[in-house]
Amino acid sequence: MKRKRKLHLMGIAILVFCVSCGQSVKETVKPVVPVTASGPFKRVVIVPFADHTPNSSLQEHFRRNTLVLEALQDALYRAGFISAPEEDVVKYLMDQGIIQTPEGGDDSYRTAGLKREMHSGWSEQMQEELQDVLYQDMTSSSFEQNKARKPIALDREILRDLGKTFGADYIVRGRIVEFRSDQKDTFNPIRTGMIPFVFKSGQRTIFGVAKSEGYENIDVDDIEEYNQVRDFFWGAGAFLTGLIGEKQGQVAGATVQLRVLIQDAVTGDVVWLNRAEACAIPRTAFADPDPDLLFAKSIDRAVNSLVADFQSALASGRVPVMLEKQAVAESTGETFKDKGFENEAASAKAEKSALEASRSAQEAKDAAAEAVRASGESKRYAQEAAGSAAEAKDAVKRASEATHKSEKIFEKIIAK
Protein backbone atom coordinates (compact mmCIF):
# COMPACT_ATOMS: atom_id res chain seq x y z
CA MET A 1 0.00 0.00 0.00
CA LYS A 2 2.78 2.38 0.92
CA ARG A 3 4.66 1.41 -2.22
CA LYS A 4 1.65 2.20 -4.39
CA ARG A 5 1.24 5.53 -2.66
CA LYS A 6 4.89 6.37 -3.29
CA LEU A 7 4.54 5.40 -6.94
CA HIS A 8 1.46 7.60 -7.27
CA LEU A 9 3.26 10.52 -5.68
CA MET A 10 6.28 10.01 -7.93
CA GLY A 11 4.01 9.85 -10.99
CA ILE A 12 2.27 13.07 -9.97
CA ALA A 13 5.63 14.77 -9.37
CA ILE A 14 6.94 13.63 -12.77
CA LEU A 15 3.73 14.86 -14.42
CA VAL A 16 4.04 18.26 -12.71
CA PHE A 17 7.67 18.55 -13.78
CA CYS A 18 6.79 17.66 -17.38
CA VAL A 19 3.99 20.21 -17.48
CA SER A 20 6.29 22.84 -15.99
CA CYS A 21 8.69 22.45 -18.93
CA GLY A 22 6.15 23.91 -21.39
CA GLN A 23 5.61 27.50 -22.49
CA SER A 24 2.69 29.79 -21.84
CA VAL A 25 1.56 31.83 -24.87
CA LYS A 26 -0.81 34.79 -24.59
CA GLU A 27 -2.14 36.69 -27.59
CA THR A 28 -1.65 40.34 -26.69
CA VAL A 29 -2.82 41.86 -30.01
CA LYS A 30 -5.66 40.19 -31.89
CA PRO A 31 -6.47 40.69 -35.60
CA VAL A 32 -9.01 43.43 -36.22
CA VAL A 33 -12.40 42.27 -37.47
CA PRO A 34 -14.14 44.92 -39.66
CA VAL A 35 -17.82 45.64 -39.25
CA THR A 36 -20.24 44.32 -41.86
CA ALA A 37 -20.55 46.98 -44.57
CA SER A 38 -23.11 47.26 -47.36
CA GLY A 39 -20.47 48.16 -49.93
CA PRO A 40 -16.75 47.81 -50.56
CA PHE A 41 -14.07 49.26 -48.35
CA LYS A 42 -13.49 52.99 -48.60
CA ARG A 43 -9.85 53.85 -49.22
CA VAL A 44 -7.97 56.43 -47.17
CA VAL A 45 -4.43 57.77 -47.05
CA ILE A 46 -3.03 58.54 -43.59
CA VAL A 47 -0.40 61.26 -43.62
CA PRO A 48 2.16 61.20 -40.76
CA PHE A 49 0.95 63.37 -37.90
CA ALA A 50 2.57 66.62 -36.84
CA ASP A 51 4.09 66.20 -33.39
CA HIS A 52 3.90 69.25 -31.09
CA THR A 53 5.21 67.61 -27.91
CA PRO A 54 8.24 69.47 -26.46
CA ASN A 55 11.69 68.23 -25.45
CA SER A 56 11.81 65.15 -27.67
CA SER A 57 14.33 63.60 -30.00
CA LEU A 58 13.74 62.44 -33.56
CA GLN A 59 13.44 58.82 -32.43
CA GLU A 60 10.77 59.72 -29.86
CA HIS A 61 8.77 61.64 -32.48
CA PHE A 62 8.99 58.66 -34.83
CA ARG A 63 7.93 56.24 -32.08
CA ARG A 64 4.89 58.33 -31.12
CA ASN A 65 3.82 58.61 -34.76
CA THR A 66 4.14 54.86 -35.18
CA LEU A 67 1.98 54.10 -32.13
CA VAL A 68 -0.73 56.59 -33.11
CA LEU A 69 -0.86 55.59 -36.80
CA GLU A 70 -1.00 51.87 -36.01
CA ALA A 71 -3.96 52.40 -33.67
CA LEU A 72 -5.62 54.69 -36.24
CA GLN A 73 -5.22 52.12 -39.03
CA ASP A 74 -6.84 49.42 -36.87
CA ALA A 75 -9.74 51.68 -35.86
CA LEU A 76 -10.39 52.77 -39.46
CA TYR A 77 -10.22 49.18 -40.72
CA ARG A 78 -12.73 48.17 -38.06
CA ALA A 79 -15.03 50.96 -39.30
CA GLY A 80 -14.76 49.89 -42.96
CA PHE A 81 -11.85 52.03 -44.19
CA ILE A 82 -8.68 50.51 -45.59
CA SER A 83 -5.53 52.64 -45.59
CA ALA A 84 -2.66 52.79 -48.05
CA PRO A 85 0.72 51.34 -46.96
CA GLU A 86 2.37 53.90 -44.73
CA GLU A 87 5.83 53.30 -46.18
CA ASP A 88 4.59 54.11 -49.70
CA VAL A 89 2.91 57.28 -48.45
CA VAL A 90 6.09 58.44 -46.71
CA LYS A 91 8.15 57.70 -49.84
CA TYR A 92 5.71 59.73 -51.96
CA LEU A 93 5.92 62.68 -49.55
CA MET A 94 9.72 62.49 -49.51
CA ASP A 95 9.83 62.41 -53.31
CA GLN A 96 7.64 65.53 -53.39
CA GLY A 97 9.92 67.26 -50.88
CA ILE A 98 7.19 67.61 -48.23
CA ILE A 99 9.02 65.37 -45.74
CA GLN A 100 12.66 66.40 -45.53
CA THR A 101 15.37 64.61 -43.63
CA PRO A 102 17.54 66.79 -41.37
CA GLU A 103 20.91 67.67 -42.83
CA GLY A 104 23.87 66.44 -40.88
CA GLY A 105 21.83 63.69 -39.17
CA ASP A 106 20.00 63.70 -35.89
CA ASP A 107 21.67 65.63 -33.07
CA SER A 108 19.76 63.82 -30.34
CA TYR A 109 22.88 61.93 -29.24
CA ARG A 110 24.44 65.28 -28.26
CA THR A 111 21.40 66.47 -26.34
CA ALA A 112 20.24 63.17 -24.82
CA GLY A 113 22.27 63.73 -21.64
CA LEU A 114 20.83 67.21 -21.11
CA LYS A 115 17.30 65.91 -21.66
CA ARG A 116 17.80 63.16 -19.12
CA GLU A 117 19.11 65.65 -16.58
CA MET A 118 16.04 67.88 -17.09
CA HIS A 119 13.84 65.03 -15.83
CA SER A 120 16.11 64.01 -12.94
CA GLY A 121 14.42 66.00 -10.18
CA TRP A 122 16.54 69.15 -10.25
CA SER A 123 15.25 72.44 -8.89
CA GLU A 124 13.34 74.85 -11.08
CA GLN A 125 16.34 77.18 -11.43
CA MET A 126 18.58 74.29 -12.49
CA GLN A 127 15.98 73.07 -14.98
CA GLU A 128 15.78 76.53 -16.50
CA GLU A 129 19.57 76.62 -16.91
CA LEU A 130 19.57 73.17 -18.51
CA GLN A 131 16.74 74.21 -20.81
CA ASP A 132 18.69 77.29 -21.94
CA VAL A 133 21.80 75.22 -22.66
CA LEU A 134 19.73 72.64 -24.53
CA TYR A 135 18.00 75.32 -26.60
CA GLN A 136 21.30 76.99 -27.52
CA ASP A 137 22.84 73.68 -28.52
CA MET A 138 19.89 72.65 -30.68
CA THR A 139 19.46 76.01 -32.39
CA SER A 140 23.16 76.51 -33.10
CA SER A 141 23.49 73.07 -34.71
CA SER A 142 20.32 73.17 -36.81
CA PHE A 143 19.79 76.81 -37.79
CA GLU A 144 22.80 77.15 -40.06
CA GLN A 145 22.05 73.81 -41.74
CA ASN A 146 18.35 74.34 -42.37
CA LYS A 147 18.02 78.09 -42.93
CA ALA A 148 18.29 77.72 -46.72
CA ARG A 149 15.69 74.95 -46.92
CA LYS A 150 12.21 76.01 -47.95
CA PRO A 151 9.18 74.06 -46.72
CA ILE A 152 6.64 72.76 -49.24
CA ALA A 153 2.98 73.03 -48.27
CA LEU A 154 0.54 70.13 -48.56
CA ASP A 155 -1.83 72.12 -50.78
CA ARG A 156 -4.86 71.06 -52.83
CA GLU A 157 -2.88 70.05 -55.90
CA ILE A 158 -0.62 67.73 -53.91
CA LEU A 159 -3.61 66.33 -52.01
CA ARG A 160 -5.42 65.57 -55.28
CA ASP A 161 -2.35 63.92 -56.74
CA LEU A 162 -1.85 61.96 -53.50
CA GLY A 163 -5.45 60.73 -53.58
CA LYS A 164 -5.18 59.89 -57.29
CA THR A 165 -1.90 58.02 -56.80
CA PHE A 166 -3.32 55.73 -54.11
CA GLY A 167 -6.93 55.70 -55.34
CA ALA A 168 -8.18 57.12 -52.05
CA ASP A 169 -11.49 58.71 -51.11
CA TYR A 170 -10.19 60.61 -48.08
CA ILE A 171 -6.91 62.04 -46.80
CA VAL A 172 -6.46 61.68 -43.02
CA ARG A 173 -4.21 64.23 -41.32
CA GLY A 174 -3.68 65.29 -37.72
CA ARG A 175 -1.33 66.34 -34.97
CA ILE A 176 -0.25 65.04 -31.58
CA VAL A 177 -1.05 67.82 -29.12
CA GLU A 178 -0.23 66.13 -25.80
CA PHE A 179 1.77 62.98 -25.07
CA ARG A 180 3.00 62.99 -21.50
CA SER A 181 3.35 60.74 -18.47
CA ASP A 182 2.88 62.15 -15.00
CA GLN A 183 1.72 61.35 -11.48
CA LYS A 184 -1.97 61.78 -10.78
CA ASP A 185 -2.94 62.97 -7.30
CA THR A 186 -5.79 60.90 -5.84
CA PHE A 187 -7.36 60.05 -2.47
CA ASN A 188 -8.80 56.74 -3.67
CA PRO A 189 -7.37 54.05 -1.31
CA ILE A 190 -8.13 51.35 -3.90
CA ARG A 191 -5.64 52.92 -6.29
CA THR A 192 -3.00 54.08 -3.79
CA GLY A 193 -3.21 51.51 -0.98
CA MET A 194 -4.26 52.06 2.62
CA ILE A 195 -0.99 53.27 4.17
CA PRO A 196 -0.35 56.09 1.62
CA PHE A 197 -4.02 57.04 1.92
CA VAL A 198 -3.80 57.34 5.72
CA PHE A 199 -0.54 59.30 5.69
CA LYS A 200 -1.69 61.56 2.89
CA SER A 201 -5.00 62.34 4.57
CA GLY A 202 -3.25 63.40 7.77
CA GLN A 203 -0.58 65.34 5.93
CA ARG A 204 -3.08 67.27 3.82
CA THR A 205 -5.30 67.97 6.82
CA ILE A 206 -2.44 69.46 8.85
CA PHE A 207 -0.02 70.92 6.32
CA GLY A 208 -2.16 71.41 3.21
CA VAL A 209 -0.36 71.42 -0.14
CA ALA A 210 2.38 74.01 0.62
CA LYS A 211 6.02 73.09 0.26
CA SER A 212 8.13 72.92 3.38
CA GLU A 213 10.49 75.68 2.22
CA GLY A 214 7.53 78.03 1.82
CA TYR A 215 6.42 78.07 5.47
CA GLU A 216 6.52 81.62 6.69
CA ASN A 217 7.96 80.85 10.15
CA ILE A 218 10.76 78.54 9.13
CA ASP A 219 13.39 81.30 9.32
CA VAL A 220 12.14 83.03 12.49
CA ASP A 221 11.43 80.15 14.87
CA ASP A 222 13.93 79.56 17.66
CA ILE A 223 16.12 76.50 17.31
CA GLU A 224 15.69 74.26 20.32
CA GLU A 225 18.57 72.73 22.21
CA TYR A 226 20.03 69.62 20.61
CA ASN A 227 19.11 66.29 22.23
CA GLN A 228 20.76 63.22 20.73
CA VAL A 229 18.35 60.54 22.00
CA ARG A 230 15.21 62.49 21.21
CA ASP A 231 16.38 63.49 17.76
CA PHE A 232 17.40 59.91 17.02
CA PHE A 233 13.89 58.60 17.68
CA TRP A 234 12.28 61.48 15.78
CA GLY A 235 14.61 60.97 12.82
CA ALA A 236 14.07 57.21 12.75
CA GLY A 237 10.30 57.67 12.96
CA ALA A 238 10.32 60.22 10.19
CA PHE A 239 12.45 57.92 8.04
CA LEU A 240 10.10 54.97 8.53
CA THR A 241 7.08 57.14 7.89
CA GLY A 242 8.54 58.43 4.64
CA LEU A 243 9.61 54.93 3.63
CA ILE A 244 6.13 53.49 4.21
CA GLY A 245 4.27 56.38 2.61
CA GLU A 246 6.68 56.77 -0.29
CA LYS A 247 3.96 56.92 -2.95
CA GLN A 248 2.17 59.77 -1.13
CA GLY A 249 -1.13 58.92 -2.78
CA GLN A 250 0.00 59.42 -6.39
CA VAL A 251 -0.53 57.01 -9.26
CA ALA A 252 1.10 56.85 -12.66
CA GLY A 253 -0.88 58.30 -15.57
CA ALA A 254 -0.49 58.68 -19.34
CA THR A 255 -2.27 61.51 -21.19
CA VAL A 256 -2.70 61.62 -24.98
CA GLN A 257 -4.47 64.39 -26.91
CA LEU A 258 -4.97 64.10 -30.68
CA ARG A 259 -6.43 66.36 -33.34
CA VAL A 260 -7.60 64.59 -36.53
CA LEU A 261 -8.96 66.18 -39.71
CA ILE A 262 -10.17 64.44 -42.87
CA GLN A 263 -10.07 65.98 -46.36
CA ASP A 264 -11.76 64.95 -49.58
CA ALA A 265 -9.19 63.39 -51.89
CA VAL A 266 -10.78 64.99 -55.00
CA THR A 267 -11.42 68.58 -53.93
CA GLY A 268 -9.03 68.88 -50.98
CA ASP A 269 -11.80 70.32 -48.79
CA VAL A 270 -11.86 69.56 -45.05
CA VAL A 271 -15.01 67.49 -44.51
CA TRP A 272 -14.55 66.61 -40.83
CA LEU A 273 -12.30 67.44 -37.87
CA ASN A 274 -12.35 66.85 -34.15
CA ARG A 275 -10.16 66.44 -31.08
CA ALA A 276 -10.01 63.93 -28.23
CA GLU A 277 -7.96 63.47 -25.07
CA ALA A 278 -7.64 60.33 -22.97
CA CYS A 279 -5.84 59.66 -19.69
CA ALA A 280 -5.12 56.11 -18.48
CA ILE A 281 -4.31 55.28 -14.84
CA PRO A 282 -4.19 51.91 -13.04
CA ARG A 283 -7.56 50.81 -11.66
CA THR A 284 -6.15 49.50 -8.39
CA ALA A 285 -2.85 49.39 -6.53
CA PHE A 286 -2.34 45.86 -7.91
CA ALA A 287 -2.53 46.91 -11.57
CA ASP A 288 0.59 47.14 -13.70
CA PRO A 289 1.77 50.80 -13.86
CA ASP A 290 3.85 50.18 -17.00
CA PRO A 291 3.92 53.52 -18.94
CA ASP A 292 3.93 51.78 -22.34
CA LEU A 293 0.73 49.94 -21.43
CA LEU A 294 -0.90 53.12 -20.15
CA PHE A 295 0.02 55.03 -23.32
CA ALA A 296 -1.39 52.22 -25.47
CA LYS A 297 -4.69 52.41 -23.56
CA SER A 298 -4.86 56.20 -23.91
CA ILE A 299 -4.09 56.10 -27.64
CA ASP A 300 -6.71 53.42 -28.28
CA ARG A 301 -9.38 55.33 -26.37
CA ALA A 302 -8.67 58.65 -28.12
CA VAL A 303 -8.41 57.11 -31.61
CA ASN A 304 -11.51 54.95 -31.26
CA SER A 305 -13.51 57.94 -29.99
CA LEU A 306 -12.48 60.05 -32.99
CA VAL A 307 -13.15 57.31 -35.55
CA ALA A 308 -16.55 56.58 -34.00
CA ASP A 309 -17.46 60.27 -34.25
CA PHE A 310 -16.38 60.40 -37.92
CA GLN A 311 -18.34 57.25 -38.70
CA SER A 312 -21.42 58.73 -37.01
CA ALA A 313 -21.03 61.98 -38.95
CA LEU A 314 -20.67 60.05 -42.21
CA ALA A 315 -23.76 57.96 -41.51
CA SER A 316 -25.88 60.97 -40.51
CA GLY A 317 -25.01 62.93 -43.66
CA ARG A 318 -22.97 65.63 -41.96
CA VAL A 319 -19.97 64.61 -44.06
CA PRO A 320 -20.37 65.13 -47.83
CA VAL A 321 -20.37 62.01 -49.98
CA MET A 322 -17.02 61.34 -51.65
CA LEU A 323 -16.86 63.01 -55.04
CA GLU A 324 -16.20 61.11 -58.29
CA LYS A 325 -16.66 57.83 -56.46
CA GLN A 326 -17.88 54.78 -58.34
CA ALA A 327 -20.40 53.39 -55.84
CA VAL A 328 -20.96 49.95 -57.34
CA ALA A 329 -21.86 47.11 -54.99
CA GLU A 330 -19.69 44.17 -56.00
CA SER A 331 -22.00 41.64 -54.39
CA THR A 332 -25.17 42.68 -56.25
CA GLY A 333 -23.74 44.44 -59.30
CA GLU A 334 -26.23 47.30 -58.89
CA THR A 335 -25.20 50.93 -59.24
CA PHE A 336 -25.84 53.15 -56.25
CA LYS A 337 -28.15 56.04 -57.20
CA ASP A 338 -28.61 59.09 -55.09
CA LYS A 339 -29.68 62.59 -56.14
CA GLY A 340 -27.31 64.27 -53.76
CA PHE A 341 -24.46 62.11 -54.95
CA GLU A 342 -25.35 62.74 -58.61
CA ASN A 343 -25.45 66.50 -58.03
CA GLU A 344 -22.12 66.46 -56.20
CA ALA A 345 -20.61 64.21 -58.86
CA ALA A 346 -21.92 66.53 -61.60
CA SER A 347 -20.52 69.58 -59.83
CA ALA A 348 -17.21 67.78 -59.36
CA LYS A 349 -17.10 66.89 -63.03
CA ALA A 350 -17.96 70.48 -63.96
CA GLU A 351 -15.23 71.75 -61.67
CA LYS A 352 -12.77 69.28 -63.16
CA SER A 353 -13.79 70.26 -66.70
CA ALA A 354 -13.43 73.95 -65.85
CA LEU A 355 -10.02 73.25 -64.36
CA GLU A 356 -8.94 71.35 -67.47
CA ALA A 357 -10.35 74.11 -69.73
CA SER A 358 -8.47 76.74 -67.75
CA ARG A 359 -5.32 74.67 -67.97
CA SER A 360 -5.80 74.19 -71.74
CA ALA A 361 -6.40 77.92 -72.18
CA GLN A 362 -3.24 78.68 -70.27
CA GLU A 363 -1.32 76.21 -72.41
CA ALA A 364 -2.77 77.78 -75.58
CA LYS A 365 -1.82 81.22 -74.31
CA ASP A 366 1.70 80.03 -73.62
CA ALA A 367 1.88 78.44 -77.07
CA ALA A 368 0.66 81.68 -78.70
CA ALA A 369 3.24 83.68 -76.78
CA GLU A 370 5.89 81.19 -77.90
CA ALA A 371 4.70 81.52 -81.51
CA VAL A 372 4.80 85.32 -81.31
CA ARG A 373 8.27 85.17 -79.85
CA ALA A 374 9.36 82.74 -82.56
CA SER A 375 7.79 84.99 -85.24
CA GLY A 376 9.63 88.00 -83.84
CA GLU A 377 12.89 86.06 -83.87
CA SER A 378 12.22 84.90 -87.47
CA LYS A 379 11.54 88.48 -88.55
CA ARG A 380 14.71 89.64 -86.89
CA TYR A 381 16.66 86.87 -88.57
CA ALA A 382 15.12 87.84 -91.95
CA GLN A 383 16.08 91.46 -91.42
CA GLU A 384 19.59 90.44 -90.47
CA ALA A 385 19.77 88.24 -93.61
CA ALA A 386 18.49 91.10 -95.83
CA GLY A 387 21.08 93.43 -94.33
CA SER A 388 23.80 90.85 -94.91
CA ALA A 389 22.64 90.42 -98.52
CA ALA A 390 22.75 94.22 -99.08
CA GLU A 391 26.22 94.38 -97.58
CA ALA A 392 27.33 91.53 -99.83
CA LYS A 393 25.86 93.31 -102.88
CA ASP A 394 27.75 96.50 -101.99
CA ALA A 395 30.92 94.52 -101.51
CA VAL A 396 30.49 92.90 -104.95
CA LYS A 397 29.89 96.32 -106.52
CA ARG A 398 32.97 97.76 -104.85
CA ALA A 399 35.04 94.79 -105.94
CA SER A 400 33.79 95.23 -109.57
CA GLU A 401 34.70 98.89 -109.56
CA ALA A 402 38.13 98.11 -108.13
CA THR A 403 38.66 95.50 -110.84
CA HIS A 404 37.62 97.96 -113.58
CA LYS A 405 40.05 100.57 -112.25
CA SER A 406 42.81 98.00 -112.10
CA GLU A 407 42.21 97.06 -115.73
CA LYS A 408 42.41 100.71 -116.87
CA ILE A 409 45.61 101.23 -114.94
CA PHE A 410 47.06 98.09 -116.48
CA GLU A 411 46.09 99.22 -120.00
CA LYS A 412 47.78 102.61 -119.43
CA ILE A 413 50.92 100.90 -118.26
CA ILE A 414 50.95 98.66 -121.39
CA ALA A 415 50.42 101.67 -123.67
CA LYS A 416 53.37 103.50 -122.17
- 3: pLDDT strictly greater than 90: no
pLDDT digits over 210-241, tens only? 555 554 454 544 555 555 666 666 666 666 66
User: Do 297 and 407 share a structural domain?
Assistant: no
Query: Does residue 208 lie in a domain region?
Result: no
User: Do 168 and 68 share a structural domain?
Assistant: yes
- 51: pLDDT strictly greater than 80: yes
pLDDT digits over 309-341, tens only? 999 998 888 887 654 444 433 443 434 334 444
Query: Does residue 77 lie in a domain region?
Result: yes
Number of CB atoms found within 10 A of residue 37's CB: 11
What is the model's pLDDT at position 295? 92
Helices (H), 21-155: 58-78, 86-95, 108-118, 124-146
- From 272, 298, 316, give the residue that closes a domain: 316
User: Do 375 and 266 share a structural domain?
Assistant: no
User: Do 262 and 395 share a structural domain?
Assistant: no
User: Do 369 and 312 share a structural domain?
Assistant: no
User: Do 256 and 179 share a structural domain?
Assistant: yes
User: Do 359 and 273 share a structural domain?
Assistant: no
User: Do 371 and 296 share a structural domain?
Assistant: no
Query: Does residue 204 lie in a domain region?
Result: no
Nearest to 262 by CA among 98, 90, 81, 95: 81
Q: How far apart, in whole angstroms, are the C-alpha atoms of residue 93 and residue 88?
A: 9
Q: Average pLDDT for residues 5-17, to the nearest whole number?
A: 80
- From 316, 335, 366, give the residue that closes a domain: 316
- 379: pLDDT strictly greater than 50: yes
What is the model's pLDDT at position 162? 92
Query: Does residue 63 lie in a domain region?
Result: yes
Max intra-chain CA distance, the chain: 169
What is the model's pLDDT at position 323? 45
Per-residue DSSP letters for 25-54? Answer: ----SPPP-PPP-SSPPEEEEEPPPEE--S
> Which range among 85-89, 332-336, 370-374, 412-416 has the greatest average pLDDT?
85-89
**Which CATH number belongs to the domain containing residue 253 in this structure?**
3.40.50.10610
Q: How far apart, in whole angstroms, are the C-alpha atoms of residue 327 and residue 40?
A: 9
User: Do 310 and 255 share a structural domain?
Assistant: yes
What is the model's pLDDT at position 2? 73
User: Do 400 and 309 share a structural domain?
Assistant: no
Domain containing 71: what range? 37-98+152-185+249-316
User: Do 387 and 300 share a structural domain?
Assistant: no
Question: What's the number of domains the chain is made of?
Answer: 2
- From 297, 316, 335, give the residue that closes a domain: 316
Q: Which amino acid is at 73?
A: Q
Query: Does residue 327 lie in a domain region?
Result: no
Query: Does residue 105 lie in a domain region?
Result: no
User: Do 173 and 75 share a structural domain?
Assistant: yes
Query: Does residue 30 lie in a domain region?
Result: no
Query: Does residue 400 lie in a domain region?
Result: yes
